[in-house]
Amino acid sequence: MVGTVSAARELGGRKALVAAAAAYAAGLGLGAVLVFGALGAIGVALNPGHVFLVAAAVLAAAAVISDLAGLRVRPQVHLQVPEPWRRSMPLPRALFLYGVLLGTGVSTFVPAAAGWALLPLSVGLASVPAVIMVGLSFAAGRALPVLLLVARGGDEGALAERPEGLRALRVLAAASLALTLVAGTARAATPVASPGGDPSAAGGDVVWQQPGVGGFLLRDGVKTQLPGTDPALGGPYVTWRSGDAVTVADAATLTPSLQVMVPGVEKLAVSDQWLAYRVRLADGSEQLRAFALADPTVTAVVSRAQPAGRLGRPSLTGEVVVYHLASTTRSRLFSFDLSTGKRRLLRSSRRVLLLNPARIGGRLLYVREGRCSQQLRLGPVDANGGGRVLYQLPALAGQDLGHEPGHTTQGEHLPCAHHPKPTSRMLWTTAISGTTAYVTVLRPGSGGQMTPSLLSIAR
């Protein structure tokens, strides 16, 4: 292809060369967008889920190893672009069409196993825009070596006839794919407990609540049932409750160090100095409160009383409680400093639902339930930016056609660019440690009551 593009310089000078190179690059882009866009659409339609994505990632890892080791690329496509095109039609048109064929990635010789690995990964990503970006990157990867060689007046023998050239290309492809696997936003989640939810994490330990059974602690791969419900970890402590009796214990030995009666207590959070909790009041409303472990007799009010279901459970790091407050007018994430009594608005939205924050250092983990997807996000505490998406589920509701039967599509306006395949599963409570994020996924049970499952996601 280097020779074909270079031929334009001989036929029409520098301008013709630029036109030929542009036509080739445009063709590559178009071919890649068509094929990868289709793969993304297939992914959206099939919504293959995390098992498929994990399998695709495993295949990709195998491709990385294969390219690094220089193993033969299998399977192979024994076809080539139609050579007569460059003689039978204007060169830019022929190069554009060559680009379209090569941009598909599967119509001619596949130089690196990474090329094959991209196909299932693209389906697994289940996102047309993301997969189109993959395709455009692939097209750029195919275009750049050719264009660079053309610009330097070189010949394609550097790639096609010298093993070092192809070897370098495969190593680059492998490195790109490995980086994508490591840094990509598509992450595989690992089940921790089902049923199980409302996690709390510290160090390598995680605790959760199993509805109707009680609290559990997972430490070094060993699961231990705790002598109470709604457990939480923080600092050197673990806490749980039995009815209204709250116990704070040493996290290492589970030896109780403090027991307090808190009428109506529901959810707990603990740090090295404080215990925060959500309490149900006599009128059915809920409120967040806290007390210092050194003086449990003095109660600090964290939030005003709210109708049941609007206040999230507290999450506590040091002296700062974070929590959500949801209403039909807006959704907000707050922090409350127990030492100063200052409340800060961390995130606010009038269009999406922001839920269940957890904080570690300067990072905030939270759930963002949007119209077109549900996301577990990790971002800076202080900025109202989106942050990174660690885990994602489809939207909670579908959409109609945008037009009535028998009417045209002219003027319709749909909320999501692609028809969402809604799910009844909902992202819920979160927890975070130095290496791992945890999220509860609720799925519908009997009588409208939701059943939780707990997932872990590497940060």
Partner 1 sequence: MQAGQSVFSDAVTEASSRRGFLARAGKLLLAVGSGGIVAGALRTQAAQAHHFCGHTYTTGSCPHPTGLPRVDRRGFPLRAADGKPVDDLGRPIDKAGRPVDAQGRLLRDPDGNPLPPAPRTRVCQGAAKTYGFRAYLDGSWYRCCGGHVRRLVDCCGYVSTRINGDAALTGYCYHGRHVFCVMYYDSKIKC
Q: CA-based diameter of the chain, in Å?
A: 91
Task: Please report whether residue 398 would count as binding partner 1 according to CB under 8 A.
Answer: yes
> Please, how many CA atoms are within 13 Å of residue 391, restricted to the half-sphere of its CB?
26
Write out the binding residues for partner 1, residues 56-85 only, by CB under 8 A.
none
Nearer to partner 1, 88 or 327 (CB): 327
The only residue of 37, 154, 165, 211 in contact with partner 1, by rule CB under 8 A: 211
Which CB sits closer to partner 1, 424 or 435?
Answer: 424
Smallest distance, partner 1 to C-beta of residue 267, A: 8
Instruction: Indicate whether 266 belongs to the interface with partner 1 (CB under 8 A).
Output: yes
Query: Minimum CB separation from partner 1 for residue 137, in Å?
Result: 30
- As a whole number of Å, the CA-based R_g of the chain is 28
Q: Does 388 bind partner 1 (CB under 8 A)?
A: no
Of the candidates 191, 198, 238, 258, the one whose C-alpha atom is nearest the C-alpha of residue 51 is: 191
Structural element, H or E, at residue 268: strand 265-270
Kindly tell me which of 341 and 444 has the beta carbon lying closer to partner 1: 444
205 binds partner 1 (CB under 8 A): no
Among 14, 72, 87, 350, the residue binding partner 1 under the rule CB under 8 A is 350
Q: How far is the CB of 285 from partner 1 (least distance, A)?
A: 11
Of 97, 110, 104, the C-alpha closest to 32 is 104
Could you say whether residue 380 binds partner 1 (CB under 8 A)? no
Using the rule CB under 8 A, give the single segment among 12-20, 124-132, 217-225, 392-400 that binds partner 1.
392-400
Which amino acid belongs to residue 228? G
> Strand 256-261 vs strand 265-270: parallel, antiparallel, or unpaired?
unpaired
Is 449 among the residues that bind partner 1 (CB under 8 A)?
yes
Asked if the peptide bond before residue 92 counts as cis, ω within 30 degrees of 0, the response is: no
CA-based torsion, 338, 344, 347, 351: positive or negative: positive
Among 407, 417, 434, 458, binds partner 1 (CB under 8 A): 407
Tell me the closest approach of the beta carbon of residue 234 to partner 1, in angstroms. 20
Q: How far is the CB of 245 from partner 1 (least distance, A)?
A: 18
**Can you say whether the dihedral through the CA atoms of 68, 70, 72, 78 is positive or negative?**
positive
Contact pick of 153, 221, 309, 385 for partner 1 (by CB under 8 A): 309
**CA distances from residue 438 to 99, 133, 193, 306, 340 in whole angstroms, order as listed:** 44, 29, 11, 26, 29
Q: What does the DSSP assignment read for 283-334?
A: TS-EEEEEEETTEEEEEEE-S--B-TTSB---EEETTEEEEEEE-SS-EEEE
428 in contact with partner 1 (CB under 8 A): yes
Decide: is 283 part of the binding site for partner 1 (CB under 8 A): no
Q: How far apart are CB 47 and partner 1 at their closest, in Å?
A: 17
User: What is residue 269's three-state secondary structure?
Assistant: strand
Q: What are phi and psi of 231, to 5 degrees?
A: -75, 160
Binding mask 180-199 for partner 1 (x = CB under 8 A): ---------------x-xx-
Q: How many residues bind partner 1 (CB under 8 A)?
A: 59
Shortest spacing between CB 440 and partner 1, in angstroms: 8
87 or 350: whose CB is closer to partner 1? Answer: 350
Q: 327 with 310: CB under 8 angstroms?
A: yes
Residues interacting with partner 1, by CB under 8 A?
195, 197-198, 209, 211, 266, 286, 307-310, 312, 324, 326-331, 349-353, 355, 369-371, 395-404, 406-415, 422, 426, 428, 442, 444, 447-452
